[in-house]
Amino acid sequence: MTGIGGTIVMAAGMFAATNIDDAVVLAMFNIAQRSGGAPTRTAIWTGQFIGIGLIVVVALLAALGLSFVPLKWVGLLGVIPLARGIALLVGAIWSRDGEGIGPVLATGLGSVITVTFANGGDNIALWTAAFRVMAPANTVVTIVVFAVALAVWCTGAELLISHHKLVKLLKAAGR
């Protein structure tokens, strides 16, 4: 598939693949909202869009900065999230029962933006490489697809948490 259709499919797949972890964060935000009222639905949606938007801006700026790097070397950016994941895995294995790891608490717009940006930091390497090799028109289409996909992600998290059996299971697991 080529042209705009191919770009849309590629962008949707890239968003989904890099934001599986954000789906979990969104679920937690929605659970917190339903149980305690904070963060608000508006803060969740706005914070997600601003946080993901900041990640896109950083990736675009990094892609511009890499314009002098030959395309054959851009693929090495994938080593960054891989190394980060391995480091976090090793740290989790060596920690004692999550010692030193506290719960992430998001109570308002600022904290939702911060958690979203921090959680999506690993997306920067992939998105930078993708934006580096894309034509400008495909980059615009990709960003629009990301925005639509994020709306779907936010809606999906709300619907997921509205399922009573799942909420019951999550409450039991949370104890």
Mean pLDDT, the chain, rounded, equals 83
The structure's pTM equals 0.78
In the predicted model, what is the mean pLDDT of residues 137-165?
91
Output the pLDDT for position 101. 47
Count: domains in the chain: 1
- Whether pLDDT at 72 is above 80: no
Give the integer Cα–Cα distance in Å for 59 and 129: 8
Output the pLDDT for position 103. 53
3-class DSSP state for residue 19? coil
The boundaries of the domain holding residue 78 are 3-174
- Whether pLDDT at 24 is above 70: yes
Output the pLDDT for position 81. 63
For residues 58 and 85, which has the higher predicted lDDT (pLDDT)?
Answer: 58
Q: Is 62 exposed, middle or buried (0-12, 13-18, 19+ CB in 10 A)?
A: middle
Give the integer Cα–Cα distance in Å for 147 and 153: 10
In the predicted model, what is the mean pLDDT of residues 87-116?
72
- Whether pLDDT at 42 is above 80: yes
